[in-house]
Amino acid sequence: MQEMLLTGRGGEGVVLASQILADTFARAGYWVQSFPEFKAERRGAPISAFLRWDADEPIRRRYKVRECDVLVAISASPPSARSVAMLRPGGLLLVNRETRFPHRGDYRVARVPGSQVARRNRILSAEGRPMGNVAVLGAAVRLLLPDGLDFLEEAVRARMGTLAEPNVLAAREGYRLCTTQHTIGSDTPYEPAEAPPPRPPLPPFAVSLTDSRVNHTGAWSVERPVLLEACNVCGLCALFCPEGAMRRVNGAMEIDFDYCKGCGICEAVCPVRNAIAMEEVPA
């Protein structure tokens, strides 16, 4: 049995990628198991998914993957030191990067410019970011199941509906552009994961000890509302805002961007034309 950890961020299709790859292995006759790490998922938060596959036997274990043979970083940003530390000696690290992975360790490194492939094929998220997940899968299949590209294409078609065609192209490109680094040990070692700060003792009741106001949900937003000319300050949006980020102050609506998470509910409930619109958060 082989075990894989896939990492990325909410919205990058990490879980879907693990399912497509499971499907690919299954089509090739393997027993598979794919599952996400269940958390309160949201866009932008770190996400993990796991994959197990075995040529001979059904997979019966039901616990999380703690060590893996393969680590696949779906995000273009480098995998966390904690994820890299989960790789077994001699394992394989596949990164979504154009440039060489600059760290050495007891693992092989392969790379694929997944985000670029996605951009070329116009596979973009709602926010316009390239979705490199399937291109990375093309590379994974080249490394782990070299005769499996057709199975990957079938799995993509089976699971991606109208988005299948560009993704099939991306899978093929990823397969083709995957390169393996042979120069292990030439550069700096990956910094060991910084020891996490000691956890504060668990509160006696399941109530946070900190004031909820320190949780600045504004950091989640990729979009934010702007108030326009026609706003008549009826206050309806403030009633619906799930963060309590809107208030009527001195005859005008005020938005607290420390807490506005960019959900767009205010815009959706506003009954007035040209009163409010969502715009991208300035970088």
As given in the structure block, the two tokens for residue 67 are: 């060590």
Q: Considering the complex, what minimum distance in angstroms separates the CB of residue 258 from another protein?
A: 14
208 binds, among ligand SF4, another protein, none (CB under 5 to 8 A by kind): another protein
Q: Considering the complex, what minimum distance in angstroms separates the CB of residue 215 from another protein?
A: 8
Among 210, 253, 254, 280, binds ligand SF4 (CB under 6 A): 253
260 binds ligand SF4 (CB under 6 A): yes
Q: What SS3 state is found at 223?
A: strand
231 binds ligand SF4 (CB under 6 A): yes
The count of chain residues that interact with ligand SF4, using the rule CB under 6 A, is 26
Q: Considering the complex, what minimum distance in angstroms separates the CB of residue 203 from another protein?
A: 6
| Residue in 41, 190, 70, 167 with CA at minimum distance from that of residue 114 | 167
**Backbone region of residue 68 per phi and psi (left: phi > 0; alpha: psi in -120 to 50; beta: other values):** beta
232 binds, among ligand SF4, another protein, none (CB under 5 to 8 A by kind): ligand SF4
Among 5, 16, 171, 275, binds ligand SF4 (CB under 6 A): 275
Q: CA separation (Å) from 156 to 31, 153, 215?
A: 18, 5, 38
| Residue in 37, 59, 64 with CA at minimum distance from that of residue 48 | 37
Distant-in-sequence, close-in-space partners of 168: CB < 8 Å, separation ≥ 6:
153, 156, 157
Cβ atoms of 91 and 68 closer than 8 Å: yes
202 binds, among another protein, ligand SF4, none (CB under 5 to 8 A by kind): another protein
Q: What SS3 state is found at 134?
A: helix
As given in the structure block, the two tokens for residue 97 are: 């990067």
272 binds ligand SF4 (CB under 6 A): yes
Q: Which is nearer to another protein, 31 or 35 (CB)?
A: 35
As given in the structure block, the two tokens for residue 107 are: 């693992």
Q: Which is nearer to another protein, 209 or 268 (CB)?
A: 209
Binding site for another protein (CB under 8 A): 39-40, 202-213, 215
* Residue ranges that bind ligand SF4, judged by CB under 6 A: 225, 227, 231-237, 241, 243, 245-246, 253, 255, 260-266, 270, 272, 275-276
